[in-house]
Amino acid sequence: MTKCIPDYKKIYTDLINEKYPEKKEAFKIIFSKKDFSLLDVMTCSKMLLGKEDEDTFIFNQKLHSFDQESILKILDYQKRHKCNNTELARHFKISRNTVASWKKRFV
C-alpha cells in the first residue's frame, strides 16, 4: 500500500501566487529545489505566517509528522552544529523526548 503524500510544493506555490504575490521572491530559493521535504514545509509555513501566537503553535505541534528522511536531516543538523538534544528540540520546535526517541531508533 502506497502512502498518499500531498504535493506541498504545489500547495504553497498556489497559495503564494493567489494570496501573497508580494512574497514570491522570498520563496524563490525554496521552490527551486527538486525535492520538497517536510523541513521545507516548516520553513514555508514560518515565512508565511511570521510569528505564530501560542495557541496556533500548540495546535500545529500536534499535527507534525516527520518522515525518515526529515528525521535524518534533523539529526544530521545536530551533528554538524554540535547541538545537544535540548538545543535541537528548541531550534526545530519539537520535544526533547522526540529527539531522544529518534536517536535511539536511527543512530
Determine the Cα angle at 10 with ends 4 and 15, to 5°. 120
- Structure confidence at residue 82 (pLDDT): 95
In this prediction, residue 88 has a pLDDT band, given cuts at 50, 70 and 90, of very high
Say what percent of the chain tops pLDDT 70.
Answer: 83
How far is 6 from 10, CA to CA, in rounded Å? 9
Specify burial of residue 87 (Cβ count, 10 A radius: 0-12, 13-18, 19+): middle
Taking the CA of residue 72 as centre, how many other CA atoms within 13 Å lie in the half-sphere pointing to its CB? 5
Between 5 and 52, name the one with better pLDDT. Answer: 5
In this prediction, residue 104 has a pLDDT band, given cuts at 50, 70 and 90, of very high
Nearest to 28 by CA among 50, 13, 46: 13
- Structure confidence at residue 24 (pLDDT): 87
- Structure confidence at residue 51 (pLDDT): 61
Between 17 and 35, name the one with better pLDDT. Answer: 17
